[in-house]
């Protein structure tokens, strides 16, 4: 036997990669058989023979066959450094070519490896013989045990398996493929093909989605199994076995000596002397006021009577407030609009409050009405005044030229203003900011004069509305309409037509361009206008002043009854039906230089309808809100009656949802077919094309909904203003039955209008006006103006669910009505078949019941030992 090495260390060949394994001392080495040799293999030797510990050889697979020639070559190459040098002679005398090396993971024989020295030992280790006794026992058990079938116990699984089975519910389709008869017997022409043209040298018919077909999955059958959650917990104390035990506690009490020593201690005296003054002061403060009272919350809820009650601690934050005691005193704000291009400039229309003063005097003073411009840079003073012939109920900036403003008066007239001469004044306020202190001290001693702009043109009174104008809209620059309401191309590419509505049951279309008759009589018109306008006003619309007439009138006849609807608000579709973009926008993108130059309206004339191309892709249908709370869906295009005359078409749909004045009809800026309406004590969301009713309708609230508007940046968010001055913020993705935020007492009076505005990507505002003439601008937080990535898709699904819910409700309502009708018919049938009792029979039945009652009473009294009293007695 070769001598055994006591310790194996890393050599130069190991390169320091392997671990140093401690070999046991001679006293620790156990005995081993003579046909094996324990040995230590360094990491270098393990890498050389591919027998790395716990990698090539493991505890489960510890065997490795080494070539005899490889071991001899290693001994020759590394000489004494080789780990096999102690067994050199044994290796040379080994009769076979493969020598077995075994990985001794547990150091059974003192080293990490041992070498098998004889072929007999190798065969015994690789294929150990099985004991004869175990084989016999296994055979006996297999022969003696006969499997017995268990009795089947049904738990209902066979029914589930039967339900899950797939059965054919329709006949199989039979396809027959045939070749054209004339091609029978034709020779086949084969050609060469380059294998590089196709994948893997064969033609692949890849599957694809056919856009002509769309299969919608209506129902899905899926299974779900609920399992309890697993929780792994541990404790510091391990409870190995249960043991009954109890513990009894006894309070520890100090004796008299210990109490005296504590009371006489100097540390206690020093502590009491130190904290006595602070405790007395704290008790005094607690008696005077509650130190735990939240003053910040008190400021937010207790300032209802103040002028700054709009401050809220969450959500909307008050950014700026505007008011003016000179022009806005005792006035109501009827309409508000942000300036489209100038930062922080906002315009409001002031109207007189409806207060009757007949008892004081029979005369009244005529007051001038104004549209007031405010600015963030100087909130205490108005920056510009637009003089009005009468109170303005609504106005709007021109989308093509922000210097042009159209408004509707209380007397039914339409007014136009041109503020281009004062636009530098408004822009200078924003750029300069605060004035010089010296100039302020000297010049502001006098009363500051606000520039006043007189209206350029006003419509003819006899051709205007017969009641106050409640809404006005510019038609988009992409099209114009003819006198029959037909949309045609707009060659000017700017907005040239205006639509107004009034409770006089009509909608009027107006054109601001020069009519043909005015072009022919231009010299006479100049003289007349010069005499009628003593003030210096812009002459951009002098061709319309007091002679302006509507293009055509749209009436709103009722669907089922006589009479007409009285419109208050309307909204038109600014998009085309096929989704095409605004052509004027495309042109301005192509030629930016031409878009900067806006033509003069006095130089534009009305084109002949014969020379213009009709646009069939423009949606001419619109939603209208009436003063009776009805939502009317109609078409503004004129149709011919039986006599061939042009008349307004009948409305397509009418629904009475709000039961009071409709004050908002607004389309969603993200979905052209979604409309928000408010009126009465609720609000509703409609989908264009759904004639059965609104897809979402709110409950009736105690306070009336006075105004509503969509968020310009989030499809799921909209704002609702209330009669008590509160603002509700709704998010359809979070809650559809209640608002996510309610800002109570945002204003001191009824909210009259709400208008959002995007000042920058990081700054969004919400302008709110009230009935007392005050404007508040709230800053919208990021949570309410930053949309999520999939918000548009989620909101679209929400609207689809609302539409499906409406259809389901209508179907159930139809079933209920049918069942009720059947029940009423059955009830009437039963009543007819039931015999009718005569009056005499009824009286006899009542007398019989009364006599039975008297008999029962007499028997009860006799049982009690009392005699019944007679009704009448005779005098003796």
Nearest one of 731, 810, 698, 718 to 766, comparing CA atoms: 718
% of the chain surpassing 90 pLDDT? 18
Q: Which residues sit opposite 647 in a β-bridge?
A: 639
pLDDT at 131: 58
180 pLDDT tier (thresholds 50, 70, 90): confident
Give the pLDDT mean for 163-178. 84
pLDDT at 709 over 90: yes
436 pLDDT tier (thresholds 50, 70, 90): very low
139 pLDDT tier (thresholds 50, 70, 90): low
Distances (CA, A) of 568 to 504, 582, 669, 773: 10, 28, 21, 22
The answer to which of 149-158, 624-633, 704-713 has the lowest mean pLDDT is 149-158
The answer to which of 27-41, 64-78, 399-413, 682-696 has the lowest mean pLDDT is 27-41
The conformation of residue 825, written as its DSSP 8-state character, comes to: H
516 pLDDT tier (thresholds 50, 70, 90): low
Give the pLDDT mean for 548-558. 90
Render pLDDT for 863-875 as a digit per residue (tens, 0 to 9).
777 766 554 444 4
Give the pLDDT mean for 813-829. 86
> 């609000």: which residue's tokens?
683
Neighbours of 204 (CB within 10 A): 7
141 pLDDT tier (thresholds 50, 70, 90): low
Helices H / strands E in the chain, number of each: 18, 37
> 């999520």: which residue's tokens?
788
C-beta separation of 392 from 415 below 8 A: yes
pLDDT at 65 over 50: yes
Would the pTM of this model clear 0.75, i.e. be above it? no
pLDDT at 120: 83
Neighbours of 807 (CB within 10 A): 13
Render pLDDT for 634-676 as a digit per residue (tens, 0 to 9).
988 888 887 878 888 888 889 888 888 899 999 999 998 899 9
Render pLDDT for 250-290 as a digit per residue (tens, 0 to 9).
888 888 999 999 989 999 999 999 999 999 998 888 888 77
Give the pLDDT mean for 86-114. 84
% of the chain surpassing 70 pLDDT? 79
C-beta separation of 733 from 754 below 8 A: no
Measured between alpha carbons, how far is 721 from 704 in angstroms, rounded to an integer? 9
pLDDT at 727: 92
Measured between alpha carbons, how far is 167 from 169 in angstroms, rounded to an integer? 6
pLDDT at 12: 35
pLDDT at 414: 93
- 3-state secondary structure at position 839: helix
Residue 781: partners with Cβ closer than 8 Å, 6 or more residues away:
315, 316, 317
Measured between alpha carbons, how far is 494 from 599 in angstroms, rounded to an integer? 9
pLDDT at 220 over 80: yes
**Mean pLDDT in the chain?**
79
How, if at all, do strands 775-780 and 317-322 pair? antiparallel
Give the pLDDT mean for 133-160. 72
Render pLDDT for 311-328 as a digit per residue (tens, 0 to 9).
444 688 888 888 888 888
pLDDT at 633 over 60: yes
pLDDT at 876 over 50: no
pLDDT at 438: 36
pLDDT at 717: 93
């Amino acid at each position: 036997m070769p001598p055994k090495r006591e310790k194996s260390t890393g050599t130069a060949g190991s390169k320091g990669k392997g671990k140093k394994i401690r070999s046991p001392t001679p006293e620790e080495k156990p005995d081993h058989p003579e046909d094996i040799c324990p040995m230590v293999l360094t990491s270098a030797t393990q890498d050389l023979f591919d027998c790395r510990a716990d990698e090539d050889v493991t505890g489960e697979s510890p065997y490795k066959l080494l070539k005899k020639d490889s071991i001899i070559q290693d001994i020759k190459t590394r000489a004494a450094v080789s780990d096999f040098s102690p067994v050199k002679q044994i290796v040379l005398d080994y009769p076979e070519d493969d020598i077995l090396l075994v990985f001794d993971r547990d150091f059974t024989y003192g080293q990490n490896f041992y070498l098998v020295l004889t072929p007999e030992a190798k065969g015994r280790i690789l294929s150990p013989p099985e004991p004869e006794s175990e084989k016999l026992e296994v055979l006996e058990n297999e022969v003696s045990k006969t499997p017995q079938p268990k009795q089947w116990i049904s738990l209902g699984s066979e029914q589930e398996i039967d339900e899950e089975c797939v059965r054919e519910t329709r006949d199989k389709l039979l396809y027959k493929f045939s070749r054209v008869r004339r091609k029978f017997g034709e020779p086949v022409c084969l050609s060469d093909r380059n294998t590089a043209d196709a994948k893997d040298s064969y033609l692949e018919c890849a599957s694809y989605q056919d856009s002509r077909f769309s299969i919608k999955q209506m129902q899905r059958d899926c299974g779900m199994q609920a399992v309890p959650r697993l929780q792994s917990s541990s404790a510091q104390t391990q409870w190995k076995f249960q043991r009954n035990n109890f513990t009894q506690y006894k309070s520890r009490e100090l004796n008299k000596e210990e109490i005296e020593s504590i009371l006489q201690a100097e540390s206690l005296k020093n502590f009491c002397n130190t904290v006595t003054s602070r405790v007395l002061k704290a008790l005094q403060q607690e008696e005077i006021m509650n130190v735990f009272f939240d003053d910040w919350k008190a400021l937010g809820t207790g300032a209802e009577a103040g002028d700054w009650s709009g401050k809220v601690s969450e959500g909307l934050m008050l950014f700026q407030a505007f008011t003016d005691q000179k022009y806005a005193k005792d006035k109501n704000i009827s309409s508000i609009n942000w300036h489209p291009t100038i930062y922080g400039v906002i315009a409001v229309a002031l109207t007189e409050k409806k207060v009757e003063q007949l008892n004081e005097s029979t005369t009244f003073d005529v007051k001038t009405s104004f549209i007031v411009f405010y600015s963030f840079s100087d909130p205490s003073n108005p920056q510009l005044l637009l003089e009005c012939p009468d109170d303005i109920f609504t106005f709007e900036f021109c989308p093509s030229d922000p210097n042009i403003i159209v408004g509707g008066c209380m007397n039914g007239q339409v007014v136009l203003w041109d503020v281009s001469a004062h636009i530098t004044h408004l822009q200078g306020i924003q750029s300069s900011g605060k004035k010089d202190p010296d100039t302020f001290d000297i010049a502001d001693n006098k009363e500051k004069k606000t520039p006043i702009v007189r209206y350029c043109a006003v419509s003819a009174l006899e051709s205007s509305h017969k009641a106050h104008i409640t809404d006005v809209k510019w038609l988009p620059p992409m099209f114009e309409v003819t006198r029959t309401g037909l949309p045609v191309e707009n060659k000017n590419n700017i907005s040239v037509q205006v639509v107004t509505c009034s409770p006089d049951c009509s909608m009027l279309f107006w054109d601001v361009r020069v009519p043909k008759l005015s072009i022919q009589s231009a010299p006479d018109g100049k003289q007349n206008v010069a005499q009628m306008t003593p003030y210096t006003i812009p002459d951009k619309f002098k061709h319309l002043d007091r002679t302006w007439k509507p293009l055509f009138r749209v009436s709103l006849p009722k669907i089922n009854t006589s009479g007409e609807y009285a419109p208050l608000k309307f909204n038109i579709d600014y998009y085309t039906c096929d989704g095409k973009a605004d052509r004027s926008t495309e042109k301005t993108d192509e030629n930016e230089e031409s878009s900067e130059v806006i033509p003069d309206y006095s130089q534009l004339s009305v084109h002949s309808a014969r020379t213009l191309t009709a646009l069939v892709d423009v949606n001419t249908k619109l939603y209208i809100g009436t003063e009776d709370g009805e939502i009317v869906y109609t078409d503004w295009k004129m149709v011919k009656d039986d006599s061939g005359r042009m008349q307004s078409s009948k409305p397509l749909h009418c629904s009475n949802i709000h039961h009071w004045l409709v004050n908002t009809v607004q389309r969603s800026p993200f979905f052209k077919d979604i409309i928000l309406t408010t009126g009465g004590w609720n609000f509703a969301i409609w989908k264009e094309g759904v004639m059965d009713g609104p897809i979402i309708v709110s409950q009736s609230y105690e306070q009336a909904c006075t105004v509503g508007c969509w968020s310009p940046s989030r499809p799921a968010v909209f704002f609702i203003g209330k009669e008590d001055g509160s603002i509700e913020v709704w998010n359809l993705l979070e809650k559809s039955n209640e608002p996510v935020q309610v800002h109570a007492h945002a204003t001191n009076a009824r909210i009259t209008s709400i208008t959002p505005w995007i000042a920058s990507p990081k700054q969004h505002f919400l302008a709110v006006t009230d009935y007392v003439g005050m404007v508040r601008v709230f800053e919208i937080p990021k949570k309410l103006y930053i949309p999520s990535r999939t918000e548009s898709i989620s909101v679209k699904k929400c609207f689809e669910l609302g539409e499906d819910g409406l259809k389901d409700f209508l179907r159930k309502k139809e079933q209920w009505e049918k069942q009720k009708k059947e029940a009423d018919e059955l009830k009437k049938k039963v009543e007819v078949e039931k015999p009718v009792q005569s009056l005499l029979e009824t009286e006899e039945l009542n007398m019989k019941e009364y006599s039975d009652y008297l008999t029962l009473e007499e028997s009860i009294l006799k049982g009690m030992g009392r005699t019944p009293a007679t009704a009448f007695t005779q005098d003796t």
